[in-house]
Structure 1
Amino acid sequence: MDMMIILQMILASIGGAVVYTIIGVAPGTDETAVLAPVTIALALLGLSPYVILAFFISAIVAKKLTDSIPVAVAGIPGGVMAAPMVEHAMVLKAHGMPDVSIKKMSSGSVIGTLIAIPASFLIANLILPYADTISEYAGLIFFFGAVFLALLTKNKILSLAMIVPFALLIQGLRHLYWGLDVIPADETVFVSFFLGITIGPIAFTLFKLLNKENRQNTPRLGNKEIRLKASKKEKGIPNPFKVLTKKESGSAALGSFLGSVTFFLTPVGMSVFLGEFLTRHIKDPVQRASRAISTMDGLTNAAYISGTLIPLIAIGLPLSPTAIGPAAGLFNAPPVFTPEHNIHHMLSIGEIMTATILGASIALFITYFVMIKYAGQISAFVFKLVPHEALIGLFAGLVVMLAFMDAGLINIFGVILIAIVSGLLHKNGVNYGVMFMVLYAAPWLLGLLS
C-alpha cells in the first residue's frame, strides 16, 4: 500500500463523510438506496478496493451519525434504521430537548463504531476456519436466510409464498436475455436487479399515480412547518462519554456488542428488541428515552459495521442483511467484483483493517464534531434547500444508467418490472432482506427444482 493509495483513501473518506452527512439529514433516505448504487458505481469505475472500502465505511458511519437529526427535530426517520427511535425522540422533544436527543443519539453511534470494529475482527477470526464450508453451501444458506427473514416479517405467509415465484422472475429475465443474445451465456445480470429491488417502493408509488383515481385520492399535505430550537454552543472538542451518563454509555456499549454478535439478524428487529429490553425498567420517561435512543443508535451503527465486516473478512459472501443490502457492492459488482473475486479475496485482513479504521476515524472526526457543533444549522439547510425528491431522482437516474450498462435498453424495462413487483411486495409486508436473499438464492433454488 503506497502513499498515493493512502492519499486516495483519505480523500475518499472525507468525501464520503461530507456527502453522507448531508444525505443522512435528509428525511426518509433509505440506507440501501443511497449507499448501494454509489458503491457499485465506484467499483465499476475501477477504483482501488482500498479506496472503495474506506469510502463505504466513512459513508455508513456518517450516515448513521446524522440520520438522528430529522428524528429529533421533526419525528421523521432519516433512514430505515432510525425509525425505531422516533417514539423516544419525540418524548425528549415534548420536554423541549431535541438538541439533547441529537447529542445522545450521535454519541451512542460513536460508541457503536468504537465497539463494532474490534468486535467484528474478533468474530470474523473465529468464523474464518469454517469459511470454505460456508461458501460451499452458499445457495442453501441464502435460501434458508430468505426463509428465516420471512418468518421475522410482518406478513409471514406472503413472504414465504413469494420466494419461489420471485426467484422465477429473476431467473426468467436472465434466461430471456441469454435467449435473445442480449448478454453472453457466461455472464449474468445482478447489479441492476439488485438496485431494482431497492427502488421498488418508490417505483410502485410513482406508477400508482398514473392511475387517475389513485392520483385524485392521494392526500395533499401542503407545506410542513418545522420549528428549529436554537441549541447551546459547544466549546472544545466534543466527548461522547461526557455527553452520555455512565449508565447510558454502558448500555450503548452492551447494545453495540450484542448488535455485533447478532450481525446475521435484521438490525431493525434487534434495535427494537434490545433497545426496549435494556431500558424497560426505567420509570422516568426522559431518562428512559435518553437511554433508549443512545443504546439503539449504538446498536444500529454496530450492526451495520459488523454486518459488513464479518462476512467480508471471513467468507467473502454477503451473509447478513447489511452485506446483502447497503454493502452489496463490496461483494458483487460484476464484472469487477464477483462472489469468487471481491474485496475479501483482494485484500488481507490487515489491509481491510487499515481501510476500515481510516474511513471510520475520518467520518467520526468530521461528522461527530460537525453534528455536535452545528446540528441546528445543518438541519435548517437541509430542510430548506435539499428536496427529498431531488435525492430520490438522483439515485433513480443512477439505477437506470446501471441497468442500461448491464444489459442494454431491454433491461431498463426488466428492472422496472422487478421494481414494481418488489414495491408491491414491500408495501404488503415483505422485507427487503427476503427479496435480496432470493436474488442470491435464485440460481441454486431453480436448479434444485428443475
Structure 2
Amino acid sequence: MDPTIIMQLVIASALGAVLYTIIGIAPGTDETAVLAPVTIALVLLGFSPYVILAFFISAIVAKKLTDSIPVAVAGIPGGVMSAPMVEHSMVLKEKGLPDLSIKKMSSGSVIGTLIAIPLSFLVASLILPYADKISSYAGLIFFLGAVFLALMSRNKLLSLAIIVPFGILIQGLRHLYWGLEIVPGDVTVFVSFFLGITIGPIIFSLFELLNKNHRLNLPFLGQKEITIRKGQEEKGLPNPFKILNKKEVGFSASGSVVGTLTFFLSPVGMTVFIGDVISRHIKDPIKRASRALSTMDGVTNAAYLSGTLIPLIAIGLPLSPMAIGPAAGLFNAPPVFTPENNIHHLLSPTEIIMVTVIGAAIALIITYYVIIRYASQICGFVFKYIPHEALIGLFAGLVVMLAFMDAGLINIFGTLLIALVSGLLYRHGVNYGVMFMILYAAPWLLGLFG
C-alpha cells in the first residue's frame, strides 16, 4: 500500500469519525438509515474501495461510541442498538451520574472494537476454505435467514406470512421495469429497493399525517426541556481500562467475544440477552447498571464489526443482519459493486485488515477522546442546533436521488411503494432483517415458481 493511499485512508477515516460523531449524538438516527445511503453514494461516485471501507469502519465505530450520549443525558436512544441501554442509563441518570453512564458505555465500546477486529479475522480465516460452497447456496441461505429472523421477530406469524408476498412485490417491480424497457434486461434494480426498506418507517409515519383524523388525534407535546448535567472533566488521555474496573473489563471482553462469534444473529437480541444474564444477580443498582452498560456496548460494537468483516473477508456475500443492513453497500451497490465484484474481490484479506485497523484506530483516537472530554458540550450543541428532522430529510433526499439514478422517475414511486409496505410491516412487528433477507432471496425464491 503506497503512501498516497494511506494518506487517503487517514483523511477518509477522520472525516467519517467527525461526521458520525455528530450524527451519532442526534437522537433517533437509525444505523441503517444514516450509514447505508452514504456508503452506497460513495460507491456510486467512484471512490476507491480502500477509501470506502476505511470511511465505513471509522463511521460505524464513531457512531457506536457516540449513540450512548443521548441515552445517558436524555433517555433517548441514539439508534436502534442503543435502545436496550435506556433502562440502565436511566438508573444512573436518576442517581445524578449521567457522565458515569457515558464513560462506561464508551469504554465498553472501545473494548468491543479491540476484541472484535482480530477475532473477526480469525473466524473469517476458518470459514474461508468453505466460501465457494457457501456462495453456491446463497439464495437458499438468504431464504433460510429470512425464516430464522422471522422466528425472532415480535410478530412471528406475520413475518413468516409476508416472505413470499414481499418477494413478489420486489420481483414484480423489477419485471415491470424490464417490460417497460426502463432498465436493460441484464440490470437488476437493488439499491433503491434496499433504501426504500430502510426509510420505510419514516415514510409511513409521514403519509399517516395526510390523514386529518390521525393528525387531530396526535398529542401536542410542545417544546421538550432537557437538562444536561455537566460531568467531571477528565485530565490527560482517557484510558478505558482505568474507567472500567477489572470485572467490568472482563465481562465486556467476554460479551464482545460472544457478540463476535454470533455475528449471524440479531445484534439487538444478543445485546439484551447478554446484558440481562451478566447483571441480573447484582443487587446494587449502580453496580448493576455500570456492568450492564459496559458489557452491552461492547457486544454491540463487536456484533457490528464482526457482522461486517467476517462475511466481507470470507464469503463476499452479506450473510449477517449487519451486512444486509448498514454495510450492504460494501457488498452490493450496482453497477459498481455486485455479489461477484465487491470489496471481497477487490481487496486481499491483508489489505482489508490494514484498512480496518486504520479506520478503527483513527475513530477511537478522535471520538473516544472527544466523548470523554466534551460529551456534555457536544450533546447540548446537537440538541439545540441540529434538528432530527433535518438529518432525516437529508437522507430521504439522498434516497430519492439514488432511486432516480437506478431506474428513472417511475422508480421514485416504486421505491415509495416499497417504503410504504415496509413501514407498515415494521409498524406491525416485522424485523428489518426479514425484509432485507427477502430482498436478496427474491430472485431465487420466485424462481421456484417458474
Q: Does TM, normalized by the shorter one, top 0.5?
A: yes
**Structure 1 residue 283: deviation in Å?**
1.1
> Per-residue deviation at 1:111?
0.2
- Please name the residue that 1:280 is paired with: 280
Q: What letter matches 1:427 in structure 2?
A: R
Q: Distance in 2 between matches of 1:170 and 1:5?
A: 39
Q: How many Å apart are 1:48 and its aligned residue?
A: 0.5
CA deviation map 1:201-246 (0-9, x unaligned): 0000000110111111111111111101111111000000000010
Tell me, what secondary structure is at the counterpart of 2:389? helix
C-alpha distance in 1 between matches for 2:292 and 2:221: 31
**Structure 1 CA distance, aligned partners of 2:110 and 2:221?**
36
Alignment of 1:189-228 (within 5 A): 189-228=189-228
Q: Which residue of 1 aligns with 2:401?
A: 401
Match in the other structure for 1:344? 344
For the pair 1:24 / 2:24, whether they are aligned, the reply is: yes
Aligned residue in 2 for 1:375: 375
Paired position in structure 2 for 1:86:
86
SS in structure 1 at match of 2:39 = helix
Alpha-carbon displacement from aligned partner over 1:386-434 (angstroms, at most 9, x marks no partner): 0000000000000000000000000000000000000000000000000
Match of 1:237 in 2: 237
User: Superposition pairs for residues 25-424 of structure 1, below 5 Å?
Assistant: 25-424=25-424
SS at match of 1:339: coil
Q: How much has 1:333 moved relative to structure 2?
A: 0.4
Question: 2: distance between equivalents of 1:405 and 1:91?
Answer: 48
Partner of 2:8: 8
1:138 partner letter? A
Cα distance in structure 1, aligned partners of 2:433 and 2:106:
26
Distance 2:271 2:178 in 1: 42
Q: In the TM superposition, what is the alpha-carbon distance from 1:281 to its structure 2 partner?
A: 1.4
The amino acid across from 2:181 in the alignment is: D
TM-score (norm 2): 1.00
For 2:290 and 2:150, the matched residues in 1 are separated by: 32
Aligned partner of residue 319 in structure 2, secondary structure = coil
Letter in 2 for 1:126: L
Take 1:294 and 1:77, find their aligned partners in 2: how far apart are those partners?
16
Q: Please list every run of 5 or more consecutive structure 2 residues that lacks an aligned counterpart in the other structure.
A: none
Partner AA of 2:217 in structure 1: N
Unaligned 5+ runs, structure 1: none
Q: Supply the distance in 1 between the matched residues of 2:83 and 2:440 (Cα, whole angstroms).
A: 27
Which residue type is aligned with residue 443 of structure 1?
P
Query: In structure 2, what is the equivalent of residue 444 of structure 1?
Result: 444
Give the AA of the match of 1:110.
V
Encode CA deviations 1:355-375: one digit per residue, 9 max, x unaligned: 000000000000000000000
Alpha-carbon distance in structure 2 between the residues aligned to 1:353 and 1:435: 30
- Give the Cα separation in 1 of the matches to 2:122 and 2:279: 28
Distance in 1 (CA, whole Å) between partners of 2:21 and 2:399 is: 22
| In 1, Cα distance between equivalents of 2:446 and 2:222 | 48
Q: Match of 2:300, SS?
A: helix
Give, in angstroms, the shift of residue 151 of structure 1.
0.1
Letter in 1 for 2:260: S
Structure 1 distance, partners of 2:318, 2:77, is 26
- CA-CA distance at 1:40 after TM superposition: 0.3
For normalisation by structure 1, the TM-score amounts to 1.00
What amino acid is aligned across from residue 34 of structure 1 in structure 2?
V
The AA in structure 2 aligned to 1:309 is L
**Aligned-partner Cα distance in 2 for 1:267–1:222:** 34
1:68-117, Cα deviation, whole Å (9 max, x unpaired): 00000000000000000000000000111000000000000000000000
Q: In 1, distance between residues paired with 2:220 and 2:197? A: 27
Query: After the TM superposition, which parts of structure 1 deviate over 2 Å for at least 4 consecutive aligned residues?
Result: none
Q: Distance in 2 between matches of 1:120 and 1:34?
A: 24
Q: Percent identity?
A: 77
Q: Distance in 1 between matches of 2:288 and 2:431?
A: 29
Q: For residues 215 and 324 of structure 2, what CA distance do their matches in structure 1 show?
A: 34
Which string of whole-angstrom CA distances, capped at 9 and with x for unpartnered residues, describes residues 120-175 of structure 1? 00000011111011000000000000000000000000000000000000000000
Measured on the aligned residues, the alpha-carbon RMSD in Å equals 0.5
Mapped to 2, the partners of 1:424 and 1:230 lie a distance apart of 41
Distance in 2 of aligned mates of 1:160 and 1:221: 37
The match for 1:432 is 432
Letter of the 1:12 counterpart: A
Give, as a single letter, the amino acid of the residue that structure 2 aligns with 1:331.
F
Partner of 2:96, secondary structure, is coil
What is the SS of the residue equivalent to 1:426?
Answer: helix
Quote the Cα distance in structure 1 between the aligned partners of 2:138 and 2:38.
Answer: 26
Q: Equivalents in 2 of 1:324, 1:221: separation in Å?
A: 36
2 CA distance for matches of 1:394 and 1:2?
35
